[in-house]
Structures are given as C-alpha cells and as structure tokens.
Amino acid sequence: QKEVEQDPGPLSVPEGAIVSLNCTYSNSAFQYFMWYRQYSRKGPELLMYTYSSGNKEDGRFTAQVDKSSKYISLFIRDSQPSDSATYLCAFSSGGYQKVTFGTGTKLQVIP
C-alpha cells in the first residue's frame, strides 16, 4: 500500500465551480498536513498548513483533515482560471521528519 494516494487528474472545471481535491494516507504518525500549489514551470509553494484534525479556511481555500479516515481535502470556492495548477498534498509526523508528498492533481479552470 502506498503511503499517500492522490488522483493525478487532470481535473477540468468551469470558472466559478467548487473544486474538491483529496488525498488518502496510511501513516498514522502523520500530524501535519499541507497543500502545495505548483504552477507550470514553477516550483511548489505552500498554500495551506494544518495541524491535526479539523478545518482551516483562508479566503477561497478550505483545508479539511479527517484523521480517523486518514483523508484530507482541499476545497476551492469560486474557482478562477488563475487557480489552474497542480496541487500536491504533503504530510509529516513532526519535528525533524521529512515531508512526504503526493503525486499531485492537475487542475484546469476553464473560463
């Protein structure tokens, strides 16, 4: 079983749609949950960071963690063409442990 599962997409949605991006994981030690956004020809940039379970909201973005199901989600409301990018989920068990990344989901928001 892979440590992290993420659908690579591509996912195409019309502008204004609500987007749901998801990852599942198997390592119970993960406590820190991250979403990175990677535009074409750029490196990843940290978008959202959550510790333990629950929701975190930042503007149009909401990160959700369900540790009991080992499932995390990123919701994008009122999606814009500028949101077109690859979204990578990432995990860590804390401290000086390395970050484990998903494969990334490519999102295209069509005007």
Interface residues with another protein (CB under 8 A) are 4, 8, 31-32, 41-46, 49, 51, 88, 92-104
| Cβ distance to another protein smaller for residue 50 or 64 | 50
Shortest gap between Cβ of 22 and another protein (angstroms)?
15
Q: State the Cα angle at 85 between 92 and 63, rounded to 5°.
A: 45
- Which residues have C-beta within 8 Å of that of residue 86, sequence separation ≥ 6? 37, 38, 39, 104, 105, 106, 107
Shortest gap between Cβ of 100 and another protein (angstroms)?
7
62 forms beta bridges with 57, 75
| Cβ distance to another protein smaller for residue 17 or 22 | 22
How far is the C-alpha of 55 from the C-alpha of 4, rounded, in Å?
20
Shortest gap between Cβ of 15 and another protein (angstroms)?
27
| Cβ distance to another protein smaller for residue 64 or 104 | 104
